[in-house]
Amino acid sequence: MIPTITAFADSPDQGAGQARDMRVRWALEEVGQPYDVRLVSFAEMKQPEHLALHPFGQIPTYEAGDVGLFESGSIVLHIAQQHPGLLPEDKAARARAITWMFAALSTIEPPILDREAAEYLEGDMPWYAEHLAVVEERIRSRLEALASRLGDSEWLDGAFSAGDLVLVGVLRRLKGSELLAAHPNLLAYVARAEARPAFRRAFSAQLAVFTDAHASA
Ligand code: GTB
């Protein structure tokens, strides 16, 4: 059964691979599962057909047979549970890898999203700089702890896992910022993940959506 995922028909990130279908594509590539993509516009995401699949009218979604999912973390976990390659066989190590997925999404990503929201929505506010400083301090604190835990290891906990995949997906949102650059081991970790053939295939596929849309425009 070939799953179908949804992605932006015209991603606002212009193919930088920051939209969350990238994590799902990457997971599918890591396990060698072919997939179809249904491209949706912002308007289509808010239509009843898409809302039946995604209550918040967003991408990505995942459909395969009677399984219909939303939330990139849940989709990556499902893929990792269906195929070998992204979760260790050992039960304790498997639980730790899943814990890293949750840590990435519920402990590390929130302040990063707050920073983006501040930049997009609050730039004109008189308290913007003060609020941004607070948010960035929260990110710094998380990254310091993460950098300390990773140390010189190649991956978070033994072999590359869904925990690394989701965490790198989150850290990539800080690409180009001094926050990430302050930690050479985290920079190297992200670069190592991005050099994986599965990442490269997923990145090229999502970039092609953008370039194709704009070549024919
Ligand atoms: N928690 C959900 C998940 O992990 O799947 C969040 C899903 C989500 O935020 N989806 C966004 C979306 O559909 C796309 S990824 N937005 C449309 C809407 O809400 O109407 C977020 C995103 C969007 C754009 C960029 N960018 O341009 O850099 C980066 C990330």
Give the pLDDT confidence of 127-182 residue by residue, as tens digits: 999 999 999 999 999 999 999 999 999 999 999 999 999 999 999 999 999 999 99
Q: Which residues contact 156 (CB under 8 A, 6 or more apart)?
A: 97, 100, 149, 150, 163, 164, 167
Total number of domains in the chain: 2
> In this structure, what CATH number is given to the domain that contains residue 159?
1.20.1050.10
Instruction: Tell me, yes or no, whether 78 and 98 share the same domain.
Output: no
Q: With a 6 A CB cut-off, is 13 part of the ligand 1 pocket?
A: yes
Query: Is the distance from CB of 154 to CB of 192 less than 8 angstroms?
Result: yes
Peptide bond into 197 cis (omega under 30): no
Q: With a 6 A CB cut-off, is 23 part of the ligand 1 pocket?
A: no
- Compute the distance from residue 160 Cα to the ligand 1 centre, in Å: 25
Q: What is the pLDDT of residue 83?
A: 98
Instruction: Tell me, yes or no, whether 98 and 192 share the same domain.
Output: yes
- Compute the distance from residue 55 Cα to the ligand 1 centre, in Å: 14
Q: Which atom of ligand 1 is nearest to the CA of 60?
A: 5
Range of the domain at 31: 4-85+198-214
Indicate if the pLDDT at residue 216 is higher than 80: no
> In this structure, what CATH number is given to the domain that contains residue 65?
3.40.30.10
Q: Which residues contact 16 (CB under 8 A, 6 or more apart)?
A: none
Residue where the block lists tokens 């939209």: 19
Instruction: Tell me, yes or no, whether 202 and 186 share the same domain.
Output: no
Instruction: Choose which residue among 6, 8, 13, 20 to substitute to test ligand 1 binding: the one with the highest number of ligand atoms within 8 A of its C-beta.
Output: 20
96 band by pLDDT with thresholds 50, 70 and 90: very high
Q: Which atom of ligand 1 is nearest to the CA of 18?
A: 29
- Compute the distance from residue 130 Cα to the ligand 1 centre, in Å: 26
Query: Is the distance from CB of 12 to CB of 21 less than 8 angstroms?
Result: no
Instruction: Tell me, yes or no, whether 45 and 101 share the same domain.
Output: no
Share of the chain above pLDDT 90, in %: 98
Indicate if the pLDDT at residue 5 is higher than 70: yes
Instruction: Tell me, yes or no, whether 180 and 203 share the same domain.
Output: no
Q: With a 6 A CB cut-off, is 6 part of the ligand 1 pocket?
A: no
Instruction: Tell me, yes or no, whether 61 and 16 share the same domain.
Output: yes
Instruction: Tell me, yes or no, whether 141 and 152 share the same domain.
Output: yes
Instruction: Tell me, yes or no, whether 112 and 185 share the same domain.
Output: yes
Phi, psi of 7 (to 5 degrees): -150, 165
Instruction: Tell me, yes or no, whether 125 and 137 share the same domain.
Output: yes
Instruction: Tell me, yes or no, whether 110 and 76 share the same domain.
Output: no
Instruction: Choose which residue among 6, 46, 59, 177 to substitute to test ligand 1 binding: the one with the highest number of ligand atoms within 8 A of its C-beta.
Output: 59
Closest Cα to atom 24, ligand 1: which residue?
19
Closest Cα to atom 2, ligand 1: which residue?
71
